[in-house]
Structure 1
Amino acid sequence: MNFSFGDLLWIFFILLAFLPASRQYRLETMRLRLIRSLEKKRGSRVITLIHRQESLSLLGFPISRYINVEDSEAVLRAIRLTPDDMPIDLVLHTPGGLVLAAEQIARALQKHKAKVTVFVPHYAMSGGTMIALAADEIMMDENAVLGPVDPQLGDMPAASILEAVQIKGRERVDDRTLMLADIASKALNQVEAFVYRLLVEKMSPEKARQISHLLTSGQWTHDYPLSCEQLRELGFPVCAELPPEIYALMDLYPQPAQRRPSVQYIPLPYTRENQGNDR
Structure 2
Amino acid sequence: MLSSLRRFLPGFLKNDAPIIPVVRLQGPIGMSSPLRPGLSLATAALPLERAFSMKKAPAVALIVNSPGGSPVQSRLIFQRIRDLAKENEKDVLVFVEDVAASGGYMIALAGDEIIVDPSSVVGSIGVVAAGFGFTELIGKIGVERRVYTAGEKKVTLDPFQPEVPEDIEYLKTLQQEIHDTFIDMVKSRRADVLSDEPDLFTGKFWTGTSAVNLGLVDSLGDLRGVLKKRYGDKAEAKLISAPRGLFGRKGGVGVNLEAGALTAGLGNELISAAEERLMWQRFGL
TM-score when normalising by structure 2? 0.50
- Which structure 2 residues correspond to residues 150-161 of structure 1 after superposition, within 5 A? 150-154=126-130
Give the conservation status (yes or no) of the 8 Å contact 2:19–2:57: no
Aligned-pair CA distance for 1:150: 0.8
1:78 partner amino acid: R
| Distance in 2 (alpha carbons) for counterparts of 1:85 and 1:139 | 19
Give the conservation status (yes or no) of the 8 Å contact 1:97–1:126: yes
Q: Deviations over 1:89-137 (max 9, x none)?
A: 1122222221122112223333413221112232222211112222122
Instruction: Tell me which residue corresponds to 1:92.
Output: 64
Change (3 A) 1:63 1:238: farther
Instruction: Tell me which residue corresponds to 2:124.
Output: 148
- The structure showing larger relative contact order (alpha-carbon pairs under 8 Å, at least 6 residues apart) is 2
Q: Deviations over 1:22-45 (max 9, x none)?
A: xxxxxxxxxxxxxxxxxx865322
Match of 2:207 among 227, 230, 238: 227
Structure with a larger share of its residues in helix? 1
Matched, 1:74 2:55: no
Match of 2:201 among 188, 191, 216: 216
Instruction: Tell me which residue corresponds to 1:124.
Output: 100
Instruction: Tell me which residue corresponds to 1:178.
Output: 169
Give the conservation status (yes or no) of the 8 Å contact 2:41–2:77: no
| Distance in 2 (alpha carbons) for counterparts of 1:74 and 1:216 | 32
**Aligned residue-pair number:** 175
- Which structure 2 residues correspond to residues 99-114 of structure 1 after superposition, within 5 A? 99-111=71-83, 112=85, 113-114=89-90
Give the conservation status (yes or no) of the 8 Å contact 1:47–1:78: no
Instruction: Tell me which residue corresponds to 2:190.
Output: 199
Change (3 A) 1:134 1:90: same
Q: Deviations over 1:5-35 (max 9, x none)?
A: xxxxxxxxxxxxxxxxxxxxxxxxxxxxxxx
Aligned-pair CA distance for 1:83: 4.0
Give the conservation status (yes or no) of the 8 Å contact 1:192–1:216: yes
Change (3 A) 1:98 1:233: same
| Distance in 1 (alpha carbons) for counterparts of 2:109 and 2:90 | 16
| Distance in 2 (alpha carbons) for counterparts of 1:136 and 1:149 | 19
Give the conservation status (yes or no) of the 8 Å contact 2:75–2:107: yes
Q: CA RMSD in A?
A: 3.8
Aligned-pair CA distance for 1:177: 1.2
1:216 partner amino acid: F
TM-score when normalising by structure 1? 0.51
Give the conservation status (yes or no) of the 8 Å contact 2:126–2:201: yes
Instruction: Tell me which residue corresponds to 1:51.
Output: 27
Instruction: Tell me which residue corresponds to 2:219.
Output: 238
Match of 1:137 among 94, 103, 113: 113
